[in-house]
């Protein structure tokens, strides 16, 4: 079924996601504050509105893909009163759990169907429509959103009530940040002990050290030909984005009263690495930090 979809936030992720919805046959109208957004949207075959409010006029589904919680709340505050009851509004940004819950509350005041549905898969996943969505919200909102999410991704998991999608996202990425730091540290220790990268990989990838950070995103060149280490850590999952997610995990841990000593350590490491000018490098480049290699 073709829907009228308003897509707000046409950045690195939002633009290809919106283009995939258009390619799936929907009537998509976008909006973004960036000065070059109109030209980029039109080049991708999307209609472009002059404001968020104009974009959502007549839309049956609204999607936001914005940097942080404050941007999401600001846009949702602007548009919720414009939407008829029952309209589905999905936020796909990665934001703090508290803001996500506030966004759901805003929507509920206007009888909207609301979902937090952050993604994993990065810009390649956004372009190739292979993202994984982690959704929080009422069952009815998830069921209404599912077919649309599956036109931008390959998997959509209903994680629970409002905010559960964000919770799943930051817990997953905290595992990732910690495990990458561990894998990188082990390779540096192996180097000092005279162990070849391949030998450590062959053992750990088939033993209890096995994990995604090792077998898919291996921080040394060679053992996994497609990992960012083979192309000087670019492109990939940027250190700055990993740091953002780790900070969100630490905010959540503080407000929920959870002990998070490993997440805190990982956040501190990536913050130092970013300060050295590596915010744009794939996060596996943290291995150079452990080697003490100056940038």
Query: How far, in Å, CA of 171 to CA of 45, rounded?
Result: 36
| 41 vs 211, beta carbon nearer ligand NAD | 41
Give the interface segment with ligand NAD, choosing from 60-68, 177-185, 187-195, 202-210 (CB under 6 A): 60-68
| Min dist. Cβ of residue 254 to ligand NAD (A) | 20
| 187 vs 270, beta carbon nearer ligand NAD | 270
Total residues at interface with ligand NAD (CB under 6 A):
25
| Site for ligand NAD contains 228 (CB under 6 A) | no
Question: CB-hemisphere CA count at 13 Å for 68?
Answer: 6
How many other CB atoms sit within 10 Å of the CB of residue 143?
11
How many other CB atoms sit within 10 Å of the CB of residue 109?
9
Q: What are phi and psi of 137, to 5 degrees?
A: 145, 180
What residues act catalytically?
A: 169
- Tell me if 260 sits within 8 A of 174, measured CB to CB: yes
| Site for ligand NAD contains 71 (CB under 6 A) | yes
Give the pair of three-digit tokens for residue 123: 């810009």
| Site for ligand NAD contains 122 (CB under 6 A) | yes
| 126 vs 229, beta carbon nearer ligand NAD | 126
For residue 251, which of 170, 188, 144, 184 has the smallest C-alpha distance?
170
| Site for ligand NAD contains 9 (CB under 6 A) | yes
Query: How far, in Å, CA of 201 to CA of 187, rounded?
Result: 9
Of 41, 62, 119, 214, which one interacts with ligand NAD (CB under 6 A)? 119
Of 8, 90, 145, 214, which one interacts with ligand NAD (CB under 6 A)? 8
| Min dist. Cβ of residue 129 to ligand NAD (A) | 14
Cite the DSSP H helix spans in the chain. 14-23, 37-43, 52-56, 69-79, 97-109, 122-128, 139-149, 164-192, 197-204, 212-215, 239-256, 261-273, 286-291
Beta-carbon contacts of residue 292 (< 8 Å; ≥ 6 apart): none
Give the interface segment with ligand NAD, choosing from 25-33, 152-160, 207-215, 225-233 (CB under 6 A): 25-33
Residues 94-113 contacting ligand NAD, CB under 6 A? 94
Give the interface segment with ligand NAD, choosing from 61-69, 181-189, 211-219, 271-279 (CB under 6 A): 61-69
| Site for ligand NAD contains 181 (CB under 6 A) | no
Please report, as ranges, the residues that interact with ligand NAD according to CB under 6 A: 8-14, 31-34, 52, 65-67, 71, 74-75, 93-94, 119, 122-123, 241, 244
């Amino acid at each position: 079924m073709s829907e009228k979809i308003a897509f707000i936030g046409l950045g690195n992720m939002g633009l290809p996601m919106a283009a995939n919805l258009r390619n799936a046959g929907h009537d998509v109208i976008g909006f973004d504050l960036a000065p070059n957004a109109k030209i980029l949207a039109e080049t991708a075959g999307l209609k472009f509105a002059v404001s968020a409010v104009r974009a959502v006029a007549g839309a049956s589904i609204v999607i936001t893909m914005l940097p942080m919680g404050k941007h999401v709340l600001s846009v949702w505050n602007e548009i919720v009163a414009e939407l008829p009851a029952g309209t589905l509004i999905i936020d796909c940004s990665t934001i703090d759990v508290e803001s996500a819950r506030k966004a759901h509350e805003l929507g509920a005041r206007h009888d909207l169907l609301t979902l937090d549905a952050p993604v994993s898969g990065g810009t390649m996943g956004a372009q190739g429509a292979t993202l994984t969505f982690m959704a929080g919200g009422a069952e009815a909102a998830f069921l209404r959103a599912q077919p649309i999410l599956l036109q931008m991704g390959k998997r959509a998991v209903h994680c629970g009530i409002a905010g559960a999608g964000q919770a799943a996202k930051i817990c997953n990425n905290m595992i990732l940040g910690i495990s990458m730091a561990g894998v990188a540290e082990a390779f540096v220790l192996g180097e000092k002990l005279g162990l070849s990268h391949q030998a450590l990989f062959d053992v750990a990838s088939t033993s209890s050290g096995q994990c995604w950070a090792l077998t898919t995103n291996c921080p040394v060149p060679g053992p996994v030909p497609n990992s960012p280490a083979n192309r000087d850590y670019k492109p990939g999952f940027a250190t700055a984005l990993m740091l953002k997610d780790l900070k969100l995990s630490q905010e959540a841990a503080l407000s929920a009263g959870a002990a998070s000593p490993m997440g805190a350590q990982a956040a501190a490491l990536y913050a130092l690495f970013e300060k050295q000018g590596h915010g744009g490098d794939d996060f596996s480049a943290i291995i150079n930090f452990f080697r003490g290699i100056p940038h």
